């Protein structure tokens, strides 16, 4: 099979296996924004596993960046104010909406949770609006 | 210690997933969301594969086991209602996601790149999360009921010893 389709499928399978393993071992939904966000306001007994999970993602990124730097990079042209705005909206929205792409988009849909299905369709729709404005109105530079 | 080794190793697997999936390149996400441009459908393959594996495994795990290996109980959201917070939050998240193509997991996995944009984006992310905290408190102070979305109460648990 063509690696253009094989790589995303392998990636998706790994994400699914990770999410499944977190449920099997820790009994938790692998929602990265929720797990990360919980580190900002730690509760007793609920910090270490979150920190270990986040550290695993970061360390995994470092290892893979050494092996395959071509798989990383920022290939979009965005000014720093737009970058800050993007981060603000993602951080605020993920907390208000109780989840992001991993929690709602993968785990929640896999559980057929109506909230996650609605959330995923919603953020794909508004994401499409933002991408349309940036790419089609501003010519891909914002 | 096992309680920490498992989530750490799982984080490594997730990072591998994000990298293979190509979502550590924000142009992949923006390409997926740009339905009116040069659409990149690879994210559909990522989500399809991830959801399929998770769908099967969650069912097997929750059917076979009364509790997770390292904890006393499964923490599973039980809400099914669609409220304004969910819609407004997902809408806001999507706008930011489509603007630059970073979401939290792949962005954490990309910290290694040292890219200025990424660290600036994380500044924004932290600001947004703290701003939500303030907003949530403001709503409560005004007597707007804290809906069951609050983490401490929304995640009722499915447990063998359902004493809670």
| The model's pTM | 0.91
Chain A interface includes B144 (CB < 8 A): no
The whole-number pLDDT of residue A8 equals: 97
B103-160 pLDDT, tens digit per residue, is 999 999 999 999 999 999 999 999 999 999 999 999 999 887 655 544 443 344 443 3
**Cβ within 8 Å, pair A123-B91:** yes
Cα–Cα distance measured from residue A38 to residue A60, given in angstroms and rounded to the nearest whole number: 21
Residue B75: beta bridge partners? B157
- Residue B14: inside a domain: yes
pLDDT at A124 over 90: yes
Q: Could you tell me which residues come within 8 angstroms of residue A71 by beta carbon, excluding any fewer than 6 positions away?
A: A64, B19, B20, B22, B24, B25
**Cβ within 8 Å, pair A119-B100:** no
Nearest to B54 among A4, A69, A107 (CB): A107
Could you give the dihedral angle defined by the CA atoms of residues A127, A128, A131 and A135, in that order, rounded to the nearest 10 degrees?
Answer: 180
**Cβ within 8 Å, pair A56-B14:** yes
B29-73 pLDDT, tens digit per residue, is 999 999 998 899 999 999 999 999 999 999 999 999 999 999 999
Number of domains in chain B: 1
| Domain carrying residue B124 | 2-64+80-147
**Cβ within 8 Å, pair A48-B4:** yes
Chain A interface includes B156 (CB < 8 A): no
Q: Give phi and psi for B66, each to the nearest 5.
A: -85, -25
- Residue B125: inside a domain: yes
Name the average pLDDT for chain A: 95
Q: How far is A36 from chain B (nearest CA, A)?
A: 8
DSSP string, chain A: --HHHHHHHHHHHHHHHHHHHHHHHH-----HHHHHHHHHS--TTSSHHHHHHHHHHHHHHHHHHHH-GGG----SB--HHHHHHHHHHHHHHHHHTT--IIIIIIIIHHTT-HHHHHHHHHHHHHHHHHHHIIIIISTTB-
A72-101 pLDDT, tens digit per residue, is 998 899 999 999 999 999 999 999 999 999
Cα–Cα distance measured from residue A130 to residue B34, given in angstroms and rounded to the nearest whole number: 9
**What percentage of residues in chain A have a pLDDT greater than 90?**
88
List own/partner pairs for B134-141 with CB under 8 A and 24 or more apart: B135/A92, B135/A96, B136/A95
- Residue B142: inside a domain: yes
- Preferred mutation among B104, B114, B134, B138 to probe A, highest tally of A CBs within 10 A: B104
Q: Is the ipTM of this complex over 0.90?
A: yes
- Residue B32: inside a domain: yes
pLDDT at A118 over 60: yes
**Cβ within 8 Å, pair A96-B135:** yes
- Residue B39: inside a domain: yes
Gyration radius of chain B's alpha carbons? 19
Chain A interface includes B89 (CB < 8 A): yes
- Residue B55: inside a domain: yes
Chain B segment 124-143 residues within 8 A of A by beta carbon are 124-133, 135-136
- Residue B158: inside a domain: no
Q: Among positive and negative, which fits the CA dihedral B74, B79, B84, B87?
A: positive
- Residue B161: inside a domain: no
A36-74 pLDDT, tens digit per residue, is 999 999 998 899 999 999 999 999 999 999 999 999 998
**Cβ within 8 Å, pair A87-B130:** no
| pLDDT range class, residue A131, cuts 50, 70, 90 | very high
């Amino acid at each position: 099979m063509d690696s253009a389709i094989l790589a995303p499928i392998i990636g998706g399978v790994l994400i699914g296996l990770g999410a499944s393993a977190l449920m099997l071992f820790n009994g938790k939904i692998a929602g990265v924004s929720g797990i990360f966000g919980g580190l900002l306001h730690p509760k007793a007994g609920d910090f270490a596993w979150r920190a270990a999970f986040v550290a695993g993602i970061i360390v995994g990124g470092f290892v893979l960046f050494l092996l395959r730097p071509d798989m990383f990079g920022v290939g979009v042209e965005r000014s720093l104010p737009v970058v800050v705005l993007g981060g603000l909206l993602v951080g605020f929205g993920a907390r208000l909406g109780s989840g992001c792409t991993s929690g709602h988009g993968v785990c929640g849909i896999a559980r057929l949770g109506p909230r996650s299905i609605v959330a995923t369709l919603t953020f794909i729709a508004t994401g499409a609006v933002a991408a349309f404005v940036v790419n089609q109105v501003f010519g891909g530079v914002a | 210690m096992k309680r920490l080794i498992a989530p750490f190793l799982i984080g490594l697997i997730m990072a591998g997933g994000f990298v293979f999936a190509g979502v550590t390149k924000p142009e992949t996400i923006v390409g997926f969301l740009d339905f009116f441009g040069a659409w990149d459908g690879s994210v559909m393959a990522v989500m399809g594969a991830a959801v399929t594996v998770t769908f099967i495994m969650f069912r097997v795990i929750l059917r076979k086991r009364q509790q997770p290996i390292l904890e006393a109980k499964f923490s599973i959201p039980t809400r099914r209602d669609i409220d304004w917070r969910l819609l407004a939050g997902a809408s806001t998240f999507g706008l930011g996601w489509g603007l630059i193509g970073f979401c939290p997991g792949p962005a954490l996995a990309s910290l290694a790149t040292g890219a200025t944009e990424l660290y600036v984006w994380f500044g924004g992310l932290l600001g947004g999360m703290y701003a939500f905290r303030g907003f949530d408190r403001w709503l409560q102070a005004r007597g707007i009921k804290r809906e069951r979305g609050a983490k401490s109460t929304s995640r009722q648990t499915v447990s063998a010893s359902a004493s809670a």
